[in-house]
């Protein structure tokens, strides 16, 4: 597998519209410009498992997640490639976008370190300097880190809706969203 080009952290995350469903291109932009998600996967027993993680988008529309090889996420992806990432908006009222993806485990040491460096930048809001790379490489080796490469195939959007006060005259409205294939063009 060729190494992907990691996208930098967006200066401003895409703001979801509050009066309509997101267009397919807006859904992709929402995913590319945010940084946290709930990573969901099937378990052998019990219900689905979910973890809050930082992810790194690529120029080829993959979403990369760093994890330890011994963690359940990695074992689950090896067993069943179907995963969900619920991308979270960090502003209130928050929107979210469910991304359905096929995932694979990538053990390439260069990619592992690049993703860990990018995640460090997303966590702090400032890219890590190259002087941090030896520390990150050591951590990646000690923790047996891998990358989950998630290839989106569909999305489901939820608009930001909020009750601003208890005596609102207008009704809060909702509409039905639907699952939309990842590469769907905008209408018209």
Say how many residues make up the chain.
Answer: 188
Tens digit of each residue's pLDDT (9 = 90 or more) over 95-141: 899 999 999 999 999 999 999 999 999 999 999 999 999 999 999 99
pLDDT, residue 160, reads 63
pLDDT > 90: what percent of the chain?
Answer: 75
pLDDT digit string (tens) for 131-179?
999 999 999 999 999 999 999 999 998 766 655 555 555 555 556 677 8
Element (H, E) at 183: none
pLDDT, tens only, 51-86: 999 999 999 999 999 999 999 999 999 999 999 999
| Interior angle at CA 48, CA 42 and CA 51, nearest 5 | 100
The CATH number for 24-155, chosen from 3.30.70.20, 2.40.160.20, 2.30.110.10, 3.40.630.30, is 2.30.110.10
d(CA 180, CA 2) in angstroms, rounded, equals 27
């Amino acid at each position: 597998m060729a190494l992907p080009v990691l996208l930098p952290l967006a200066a401003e995350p895409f703001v979801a519209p509050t009066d309509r469903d997101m267009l397919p291109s807006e859904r992709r932009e929402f995913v590319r410009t945010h940084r946290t998600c709930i990573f969901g996967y099937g378990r052998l027993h019990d219900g689905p498992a979910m973890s809050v993680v930082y992810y790194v988008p690529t120029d080829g529309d993959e979403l990369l997640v760093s994890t330890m090889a011994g963690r359940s996420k990695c074992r689950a992806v090896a067993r069943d490639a179907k995963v969900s990432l619920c991308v979270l908006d960090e502003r209130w009222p928050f929107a979210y976008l469910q991304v359905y993806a096929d995932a694979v485990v990538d053990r390439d040491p260069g990619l592992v370190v690049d993703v860990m460096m990018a995640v460090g930048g997303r966590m702090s809001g400032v890219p890590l300097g190259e002087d941090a790379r030896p520390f990150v490489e050591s951590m990646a080796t000690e923790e047996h880190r891998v990358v989950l490469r998630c290839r989106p195939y569909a999305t489901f959007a939820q608009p930001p809706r909020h009750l601003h006060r208890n005596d609102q005259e207008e009704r809060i409205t909702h509409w039905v969203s639907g699952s939309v294939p990842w590469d769907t063009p905008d209408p018209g």
